């Protein structure tokens, strides 16, 4: 992390663009919970990122509360970590503008998420969708975060944030002003796949409801989705090598391993030779055991939006103090009159 001497700090964010799912939990939120006792942590609901694609205003606010409820229900303690929404801290947008002038067009042109989300008709995509990664760099660097827990799909955006930090430090002869943030991606659950297609990521925006296990699914829905999950006719292999070319089987084994705290090898030692008729009910049991209580807590929290609002607003006040101090220094460095 070069010669950066500031404190270790964590920032991550989730978009309020739909229901929270098992991939979000295993790839992100579960790590957020573990990190809160290790470092100073900032967990953001990135509503400004969500509007890079159309969001119904009536739903956006409820979705913001939904993410806040998931943070709390999973075990993030707002007295320990700072939970807030991005739009309430104007410093994110201010720094993002400056980063738009640091990042190069060529860097953004390479972003695969833009290509995926813009689809064939990129002329009709919003400008915000294109500059999304510089806002994400700002979310991270406005807190001088050194560590960023995310799922595997965010790797390229994290590299861009490091490039922006490095170029800013060099361009303005401010060595080590910004840290080069480290992605925290590794670990079981970094890439959970769709239950209908083992080659596509489990996603909020999947058109099939059967592809995604939502944190608010009840036991019955979880059981049905797992029973219907796409598989192949072969029994499970006894060793990892036997999962190659079997993306659906590999995904279900990976989910079991991530939730049980076992390795894929251990899971195959236990279930190798069994058909999905035996494995799927065992998988459904563990998903229900780990996820259903979080869903119950989320539902209860979502019944009290004024409490969730209070958590977000007081988090934003705390976050704002740190973020504004960074922007003040940045303005000075860039040559603005302060
Ligand atoms: P969409 O799927 O609609 O693009 P998303 O769920 O990827 O949305 P976010 O909600 O912003 O987007 O993601 C929040 C966090 O969850 C990020 O750290 C992301 O990497 C992680 N994540 C999302 N999907 C998965 C997945 N299938 N497996 C592991 N981690 C995931
Ligand atoms: N791009 C991320 C969400 C996101 C984020 C961040 C993650 C926005 N800002 C800062 C980590 C740090 C996504 O789509 N999952």
State if residue 52 touches ligand 2 by the CB under 6 angstroms criterion.
Answer: no
User: Does any domain span residue 203?
Assistant: no
Examine the domain organization and report whether 63 and 156 are in the same domain. yes
User: Does any domain span residue 41?
Assistant: yes
Examine the domain organization and report whether 308 and 290 are in the same domain. no
CA dist 64 and 62 (Å) reads 5
The protein residue with its alpha carbon nearest to ligand 1, atom 25, reads 23
Domain limits at 277?
209-299
**Of 20, 151, 214, best ligand 1 pocket probe by most atoms within 8 Å of the beta carbon:** 151
Instruction: Exactly one of 155, 201, 318, 331 is catalytic; name it.
Output: 201
State if residue 154 touches ligand 1 by the CB under 6 angstroms criterion.
Answer: yes
The number of beta carbons lying within 10 Å of the beta carbon of residue 179 is 25
Examine the domain organization and report whether 117 and 97 are in the same domain. yes
State if residue 150 touches ligand 2 by the CB under 6 angstroms criterion.
Answer: yes
The CATH number given to whatever domain includes residue 85 is 3.40.50.620
Q: Is 117 a catalytic residue?
A: yes
Q: Which two structure tokens, joined as six digits, stand for 216?
A: 């608010």
Examine the domain organization and report whether 98 and 164 are in the same domain. yes
User: Does any domain span residue 274?
Assistant: yes
Examine the domain organization and report whether 262 and 325 are in the same domain. no
CA dist 197 and 304 (Å) reads 36
Instruction: Find all residues with CB under 8 Å of 230, minimum gap 6, and list them.
Output: 195, 196, 197, 198, 248
Examine the domain organization and report whether 137 and 85 are in the same domain. yes
Q: Is 201 a catalytic residue?
A: yes
Examine the domain organization and report whether 116 and 170 are in the same domain. yes
State if residue 192 touches ligand 1 by the CB under 6 angstroms criterion.
Answer: yes
CA dist 219 and 291 (Å) reads 9
The CATH number given to whatever domain includes residue 230 is 1.10.240.10
pLDDT at 120: 87
User: Does any domain span residue 196?
Assistant: no
Examine the domain organization and report whether 314 and 169 are in the same domain. yes
User: Does any domain span residue 4?
Assistant: no
Examine the domain organization and report whether 48 and 148 are in the same domain. yes
State if residue 154 touches ligand 2 by the CB under 6 angstroms criterion.
Answer: yes
User: Does any domain span residue 68?
Assistant: yes
The protein residue with its alpha carbon nearest to ligand 2, atom 9, reads 136
State if residue 139 touches ligand 2 by the CB under 6 angstroms criterion.
Answer: yes
Quote the number of domains for the chain. Answer: 2
Residue 202, CA distances (Å) to 190, 210, 213, 220, 253 in order? 11, 10, 8, 20, 15
**pLDDT (tens digit per residue) in 254-306:** 999 999 999 999 999 999 999 999 999 999 999 999 999 999 999 999 999 99
Examine the domain organization and report whether 326 and 233 are in the same domain. no
Examine the domain organization and report whether 181 and 229 are in the same domain. no
CA dist 252 and 46 (Å) reads 29
Examine the domain organization and report whether 295 and 309 are in the same domain. no
**Of 31, 139, 192, best ligand 2 pocket probe by most atoms within 8 Å of the beta carbon:** 139
**Of 9, 10, 14, 146, best ligand 2 pocket probe by most atoms within 8 Å of the beta carbon:** 14
Q: What is the pLDDT along the chain (338 residues), one digit of tens a residue?
A: 478 999 999 999 999 999 999 999 999 999 999 999 999 999 999 999 999 999 999 999 999 999 999 999 999 999 999 999 999 999 999 999 999 999 999 999 999 999 999 988 899 999 999 999 999 999 999 999 999 999 999 999 999 999 999 999 999 999 999 999 999 998 888 899 999 999 999 998 888 999 999 999 999 999 999 999 999 999 999 999 999 999 999 999 999 999 999 999 999 999 999 999 999 999 999 999 999 999 999 999 999 999 999 999 999 999 999 999 999 999 999 999 99
User: Does any domain span residue 44?
Assistant: yes
């Amino acid at each position: 992390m070069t010669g950066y001497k500031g404190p270790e700090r964590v920032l991550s964010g989730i978009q309020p663009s739909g229901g929270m799912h098992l991939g979000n939990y295993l790839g992100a939120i579960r790590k957020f919970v573990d990190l809160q006792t290790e470092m100073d942590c900032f967990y953001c609901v990135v509503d400004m990122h969500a509007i890079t694609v159309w969001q119904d205003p009536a739903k956006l606010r409820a979705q913001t509360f939904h993410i806040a409820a998931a943070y709390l229900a999973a075990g993030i303690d707002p007295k320990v970590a700072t939970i807030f929404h991005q739009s309430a801290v104007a410093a994110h947008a201010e720094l993002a503008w400056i980063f738009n002038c640091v990042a190069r067009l060529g860097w953004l042109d390479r972003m695969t998420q833009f290509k995926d989300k813009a689809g064939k008709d990129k002329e009709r995509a919003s400008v915000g969708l294109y500059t999304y990664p510089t806002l994400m760099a700002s979310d991270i660097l406005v807190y001088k975060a050194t560590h960023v827990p995310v799922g595997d799909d965010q790797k390229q955006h994290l590299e861009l944030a490091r490039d922006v930090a490095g170029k800013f430090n060099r361009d303005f002869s401010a060595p080590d002003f910004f840290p080069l943030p480290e992605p925290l991606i590794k670990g079981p659950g970094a890439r959970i796949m769709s239950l209908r297609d083992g080659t596509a990521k489990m996603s909020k925006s999947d058109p099939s409801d059967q592809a995604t296990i939502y944190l608010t699914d009840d036991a019955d829905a979880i059981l049905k989705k797992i029973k219907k999950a796409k598989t192949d006719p072969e029994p499970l292999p006894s060793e990892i090598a036997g999962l190659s070319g079997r993306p659906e089987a590999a995904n279900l084994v990976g989910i079991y391993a991530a939730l049980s705290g076992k390795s894929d090898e251990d899971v195959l030692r236990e279930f190798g030779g069994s058909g999905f008729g035996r494995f799927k009910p065992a998988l459904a049991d563990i998903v229900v055991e780990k996820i259903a209580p979080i869903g119950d807590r989320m539902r209860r929290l979502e019944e009290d939006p004024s409490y969730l609002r209070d958590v977000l607003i007081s988090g934003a006040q705390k976050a704002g103090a740190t973020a504004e101090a960074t922007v003040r220094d940045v303005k000075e460095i860039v040559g603005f009159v302060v």
